[in-house]
Structure 1
Amino acid sequence: MNYSCKLPPSVWLGGFFNPQSLLTAIMQQTARKNEWPLDKMCLYCEVLRKYKEEITSAPREGAYINGLYMEGARWDMQAGCIMDSRFKELFPLLPVIYIRAITQDKQDLKNMYECPVYKTRSRGPTYVWTFNLRTKEKASKWILGGVAILLQI
């Protein structure tokens, strides 16, 4: 049975009442397609060098997501990693992020910051997921700085 549905070119994750459902569905769809166990899956996040307006079609697997903000740092498109915030720039918009499912054994956590994703600025009960973002600094710098991704500000 084919359960596939057509996604828009990029998805506004903050528009979902339950954003975890889309992220879980991406893992379920990949696991079913490849006959992999769901409990051995994880999400792979690639921050693109494009914004929502530049995306014209959905990826073959996974999803492009947009409308995410970063608190405590910013994404540097040239360097392709997290950098210190700019002066007076509190919540910089992230470029489009390509989310797809991979098996946990293929996950590379070297030079990565496990960045928590929250629905709002208030932490705790608004937690959604953790996205691994590339960093040239030690992850502890971003942990101490409270760096997070927000779906809405």
Structure 2
Amino acid sequence: VLDNDEERQQLQSTTTAHDISNGIIIDGIYLDGAQWDYEHHEIVDCTNQQRSHRLPPLLCKLIPKNNETIDSTNVYECPVYLTALRAVSANEAAKHLVSTITIPCSETESFWTTRSIAGILEVNE
């Protein structure tokens, strides 16, 4: 996760196509029910009344599933949906689920799952 506009601009101005040939920068994902802590580089509970908070741009890369350097503790496999409605029924959930993203956190994954924290692509502000 890129933490701010300065890092994003630095990445864009210094990154070559070769550097990101195995990855892609994704921007415009909002967290529904949580927010990004720029100091600790992880998701945290919302500290204000606003429900949706924009995530910093993500640099996504493919990582082999058998890569033992991946630490699965202190991460949340966050579902990403098209809209905050997610789905009207359980049958529609699969149609509205876009992907999942692995996000660093201090709490357990069940902490975030219980709160139904999700990424959303379209926010009605």
Which residue number in structure 2 is paired with residue 56 of structure 1?
Answer: 12
Query: Which protein has the bigger strand share?
Result: 2
Q: Give % identity.
A: 31
Q: Which runs of 4+ in 1 moved over 4 A?
A: none
Aligned residues: CA RMSD: 1.7
SS of structure 2 residue aligned to 1:136: coil
In 1, Cα distance between equivalents of 2:82 and 2:106: 26
Shift in Å, 1:71: 0.4
Aligned length: 107
Q: Post-superposition shift, 1:87?
A: 1.6
Residues 37-92 of structure 1: CA deviation (Å, up to 9, x unaligned): xxxxxxxxxx1112396252455231111111000111111101110112212111
Tell me, yes or no, if structure 1 residue 138 matches structure 2 residue 108: yes
SS of residue in 2 equivalent to 1:102: coil
SS of residue in 2 equivalent to 1:151:
strand
In 2: Cα distance, 1:84 partner to 1:121 partner = 17
Report SS of the residue matched to 2:83: coil
- CA–CA distance in 2 between the matches of 1:51 and 1:97? 12
- The residue correspondences of 1:55-74 to structure 2 (distance < 5 A) are 55-57=11-13, 59-61=19-21, 62-74=23-35
Letter aligned with residue 122 of structure 1? L
Which segments of 5 or more consecutive residues in structure 2 lack a partner in the other structure?
87-92
For 1:3-152, list aligned pairs within 5 A. 47-51=1-5, 54=9, 55-57=11-13, 59-61=19-21, 62-106=23-67, 107-123=70-86, 124=93, 125-152=95-122
Report the AA paired with residue 138 of structure 1: T
Please tell me the residue identity of whatever aligns with 2:100. Answer: T
TM-score (norm 1): 0.64
Runs of at least 5 residues in structure 1 that lack an aligned partner in the other structure? 1-46
- 1:112 and 1:119 map into 2 onto residues whose CA distance is 22
State the TM-score, normalizing by the size of structure 2: 0.77
